[in-house]
Amino acid sequence: MLFGLGLLALGMFSTVPAVNLYLGEQAATAKGTAASLYLSLYYFDGSFGAVLPGLALLWAGWPGVALLCLGMVLIALTSDAILCR
């Protein structure tokens, strides 16, 4: 379990700089605005990611947390399929 959590943390902390580099390549103008918007949304959404599992645990127990995580994975996969075609 610790190995899996370590891989998750490694993936998260290596993704943020990679996305910033990608934004710099893709933005034709206002590269700083694109990077700051990304980081603002990253931290804003991260605060939801810290609160929502707790609310799911209070309202529905561990099955609610599992369903929330499954829903987030499905949203991510759907977004990837739509944006990367």
User: For residue range 58-79, what is the model confidence (pLDDT) as tens digits?
Assistant: 999 999 999 999 999 999 899 9
Is the pLDDT confidence value at 55 over 90? yes
pTM, to two decimals: 0.66
Stretch (H or E) spanning 65: helix 31-83
C-alpha dist (Å) from residue 31 to 14, 25, 37, 71:
20, 8, 10, 32
CA distance 51 to 10: 22
CA distance 42 to 28: 21
Quote the number of domains for the chain: 1
In 3D, which of 24, 52, 50, 53 has the Cα closest to residue 38? 24
**Domain coverage including residue 64:** 2-83
